[in-house]
Structure 1
Amino acid sequence: MNSHRESDDSYRQVVVILNESWRIVECNMAVQWILQRAKNKRCGRAWASEGFCRSREALIRLSTGKSGQIEPSARTFLDTLPTRFEQNAGRAG
């Protein structure tokens, strides 16, 4: 079941998985993208927000600076995001 909580592993607004420890989601208010890092917790995995962006350029810069190696397909996907986050248009395709 998909969750509405951004910190859940099953959050419904995941935009792209960058690698096994990092992902990008659309915030639950639909106003920005959030870079998140996986954290272990007692009964599974939780996600901690590491940065918030409204422009694709800032999101790519933040992601490459913090997450280390990004999967090539994820990097290509980032390039297809809109230049600016627009409400209800934060995810490509």
Structure 2
Amino acid sequence: MCETPPRDPGVQPERTWLAWRRTTLTYAVSVGLAARVAVAEHSATAVAAAALGAVAWAALLLTAQRRRRGLAVRQPAPMDAVQVIGTLASVLVLIVVGGMLL
């Protein structure tokens, strides 16, 4: 029988956590800029774009928190399909928000 050696994570979980943190912070800044445009323009499209971006940011933040908690175990599992699709959808929503504000 081949036994799996104990995991020595080093700083990999911390690097991953910092990467998720940078991503959510960048996303928050983007949504903040969308909100600024919505306030300045007073258009329904801009307000809808900012609201859509805020909801997508919250979903990304939730995914990041789940992933961070998942890395705390000795042998973390890879991201499941729901998390991957949710993250992809959130990023695509940000692209759509940017397009709506152009």
- TM bracket (short chain): under 0.3
More helix by share: 2
Q: Which has the larger radius of gyration?
A: 2
TM-score by length of 1: 0.28
